[in-house]
Amino acid sequence: MAHIWGIEKGEGGTSEERMMAYFDGQLHPQHALLPRVIYVAHEGDSLVGYVAGHLTRRFACDGELEWIFVSPQRRRIGIASDLLHRLAEWFKEQRASKVCVNVAPANRTAIAFYVRHGAAKMNQHWLVWSDFSAAAEKSEAT
């Protein structure tokens, strides 16, 4: 995973230490609840992406998409949609329908991806799905 974190850091992503603290229960995003989950995408022995989320009460949401990342050379072939779909299934199992995600306003690619999968603007830095299971349905159609 160190290789993919090295790529992500260059894009302003998270650090290995921050991610480990998140999953070890030492780092708690505002209003975060347990449990937390991460799904990874592999091609052969290579990690090409991941998505992580947790339950929350932030902004009256049930869940929060914490991170999603796909290696630059593997983008635009459906990996992120597949990861989002799997996270949507997990949130559905947790009975968490309203899910939010923080995204930098300048990250137009991420915003377009989330909107394409059913998210709506909540405020300048946040998008929300009123029913995240719709993200799973959208990802099947894209």
Judge whether residue 142 has pLDDT over 60. no
What pairs with residue 53 in β-bridges?
Answer: 37, 65
Judge whether residue 139 has pLDDT over 60. no
H-only helix segments in the chain: 2-9, 16-23, 79-93, 108-116, 133-141
Q: Would you give the distance in Å from CA 2 to the centre of its chain?
A: 19
pLDDT value, residue 80: 96
User: Of 125, 11, 129, nearest to 63 (Cα)?
Assistant: 129
pLDDT value, residue 40: 93
Q: Please tell me the number of Cα atoms within 13 Å of 122 on its side-chain side.
A: 20
Provide Rg for the chain, Cα atoms: 14
pLDDT value, residue 13: 59
pLDDT value, residue 8: 58
Count the Cβ atoms, other than its own, within 10 Å of residue 110.
16
Higher-pLDDT residue of 52, 6: 52
Report the interhelical angle of 16-23 vs 2-9 (nearest 10°). 120
Q: How far apart are CA 118 and CA 105, in angstroms?
A: 17
Judge whether residue 9 has pLDDT over 60. no
Q: pLDDT tens across 33-75, in order?
A: 989 999 999 999 888 999 999 999 999 999 999 999 899 889 9
Range of weakest confidence among 25-29, 53-57, 69-73, 106-110 = 25-29
pLDDT value, residue 128: 98
pLDDT value, residue 140: 54
pLDDT above 70 covers a percentage of the chain that reads: 85
